[in-house]
């Protein structure tokens, strides 16, 4: 796309905004018209396309040129969730049973040990550098400690499609670990939030809820998967309608906590991936066709996901964290890297493969964009600093991790 064309598109966006066009369709048009060339430009530069879309989101979001209407921003969280569900379904439809058996116990360790150690490192660093209390440090630590499935999972699917690292099931390992990692981080964050507010929180019970949440997520995914299989066998339904049914059930599963109004965290992301896994295992031919359908939908969902994640980033807020914020984030990444190495002890992965797993666990974006402002909104002391470091963590780790995965995969992994 020429500079003239780019300027024309931006001018159209500015015109729509200034004229007060409040229709969400105008914002959607801007995202698509700018998102496609942004991805293409970065791919031409031999960089991950998602980086171009993230940067675009920052530029056109409310903290940049403000080209997106409020109605689009208000449903941004829901749109991002739906896009993430689509990529998780793709992931589930691409997982092989034998690979999952091979990495099962290691994936469980990868889902908790790196995040726990990273959270602890950040607590200690924030107490030392920011004079936080232990509880404030815990709030910061377990917002930052969550890896971003939105960044990691698409990268792993590309490796699976190109048969890179699949011989030892490395993409499957990271898929499974990254989809559950957030459950640990969010549950522990909630416990610290309860401690800060003075609620009588039993941390032991909160930690016990984690394996229960994982089991509930898997069970829900299995049940929904078998219900869908029964429907598909009993009724003749076109593949496009099958996709819509699967997507509808998956969205309901993801929103199950809000629907039931319970305090129990459910590993809904893992459950969504389980739906795809059950379908591909029981109906392989149907699963293959559905996987291709979701691949096509992902072209649209990917642009929405990354542009809208980028739109949540406020550079001015991130700058408030300064050098201390970067130091704390890097200390956390050291802790996470140690956790990954510990999780991989006893496996047959060589050091190149272990290094790749470390790199793959760097990106942060999803939880940090969604929850970074929660402490500030609840009146937590130093909530502004927590938000600043959360935003900074996206700016530092999402590009670093995405580029690292992109360039290291073929060098560090074999088939």
The domain limits of the chain are: 3-74, 78-412
- CATH class of the 78-412 domain in this structure: mainly alpha
Structure tokens at 388: 């600043």
CA pair distance 203, 79, nearest whole angstrom? 33
CA pair distance 255, 261, nearest whole angstrom? 10
Return the pLDDT at 16. Answer: 44
Cβ-contact 88, 273 below 8 angstroms: yes
CA pair distance 374, 194, nearest whole angstrom? 13
User: ∠ CA 196-208-89 to the nearest 5 degrees?
Assistant: 100
Return the pLDDT at 264. Answer: 62
Q: What is the pTM of this model?
A: 0.84
Residue pLDDT, tens place only, 347-397: 999 999 999 999 999 999 888 887 888 898 888 888 999 999 998 999 899
Cβ-contact 301, 31 below 8 angstroms: no
CA pair distance 258, 15, nearest whole angstrom? 39
Positions of the chain with pLDDT under 70:
1-23, 198-207, 257-265, 415
Cβ-contact 169, 103 below 8 angstroms: yes
Return the pLDDT at 9. Answer: 46
């Amino acid at each position: 796309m020429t500079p003239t064309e780019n300027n024309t598109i931006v001018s159209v966006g500015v015109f729509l905004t200034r004229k007060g066009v409040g229709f969400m369709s105008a914002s959607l048009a801007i995202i698509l018209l700018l998102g496609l060339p942004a991805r293409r430009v970065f791919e031409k530069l031999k960089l991950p396309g998602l980086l171009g879309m993230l940067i675009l989101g920052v530029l056109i979001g409310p903290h940049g040129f403000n080209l997106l209407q409020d109605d689009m921003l208000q449903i941004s969280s829901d749109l991002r969730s739906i896009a993430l569900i689509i990529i998780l379904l793709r992931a589930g439809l691409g997982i092989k049973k034998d690979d999952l058996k091979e990495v099962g116990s290691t994936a469980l360790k990868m889902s908790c040990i790196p995040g726990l150690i990273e959270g602890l490192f950040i607590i200690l660093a924030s107490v030392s550098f920011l004079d936080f209390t232990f509880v404030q440090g815990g709030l910061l630590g377990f917002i930052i400690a969550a890896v971003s499935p939105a960044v990691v999972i698409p990268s792993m699917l590309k490796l699976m499609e190109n048969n890179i690292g699949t011989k030892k099931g490395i993409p499957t390992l990271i898929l499974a670990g990254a989809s559950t990692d957030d459950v640990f981080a969010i549950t522990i964050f909630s416990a610290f939030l309860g401690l800060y507010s003075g609620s009588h929180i039993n941390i032991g019970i909160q930690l016990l809820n984690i394996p229960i949440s994982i089991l509930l997520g898997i069970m829900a995914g299995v049940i929904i998967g078998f219900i869908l299989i029964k429907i598909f066998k009993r009724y003749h339904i076109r593949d496009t309608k099958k996709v819509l049914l699967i997507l509808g059930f998956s969205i309901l599963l993801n929103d199950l906590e809000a629907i039931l109004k319970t305090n129990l965290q459910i590993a809904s992301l893992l459950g969504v991936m389980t739906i795809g896994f059950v379908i591909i295992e029981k109906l392989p031919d149907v699963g293959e066709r559905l996987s291709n359908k979701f691949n096509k939908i992902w072209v649209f969902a990917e642009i929405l996901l990354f542009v809208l994640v980028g739109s949540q980033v406020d550079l001015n807020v991130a700058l408030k964290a300064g050098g201390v914020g970067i130091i704390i984030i890097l200390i956390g990444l050291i802790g996470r890297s140690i956790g990954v190495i510990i999780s991989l002890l006893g496996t047959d992965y060589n050091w190149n493969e272990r290094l790749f797993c470390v790199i793959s666990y760097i990106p942060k974006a999803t939880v940090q964009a969604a929850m970074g402002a929660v402490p500030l909104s609840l009146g937590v002391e130093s909530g502004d600093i927590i938000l600043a470091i959360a935003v900074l963590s996206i700016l530092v780790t999402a590009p670093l991790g995405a580029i690292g995965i992109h360039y290291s995969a073929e060098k560090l992994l074999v088939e």
